[in-house]
Amino acid sequence: MPSLNFHQFTLGIEEEYMVIDPVTRELKSHEQKIVQEGQKLLKDKVKAEMHQAVVEVGTDICKNAAEALEDVASLRGNIAAIAHSMGLGVGAA
């Protein structure tokens, strides 16, 4: 009988957030301030995008959907809090 080879699959999630003015909802350039503060807290999970009004985040490599959900929820909350501290908001890109 042939042996079965089981692979453990993993997943990760990347998201992009548009930086917005919380009153007008217009895009706002953050001059990488959110990225810099995010990297202090979240290390390489936060990356700059070419567009000055976008922040990219990525989860760790996750073993399952529950782990990915926990990681992405934490990233969303942290980036939103950083943006809020600068008088800005974030929305899904």
User: How many C-beta atoms surround the C-beta of residue 61 within 10 A?
Assistant: 11
CB 59 within 8 A of CB 13: yes
pTM of the model: 0.87
The whole-number pLDDT of residue 2 equals 64
- Sign (positive/negative) of CA torsion 28, 19, 58, 79? positive
The more confidently predicted of residues 30 and 81 is 81
- For the stretch 49-73, pLDDT in tens is 888 899 999 999 999 999 999 999 9
Between strands 46-48 and 89-92, the pairing is unpaired
d(C-alpha 25, C-alpha 8), whole Å: 42
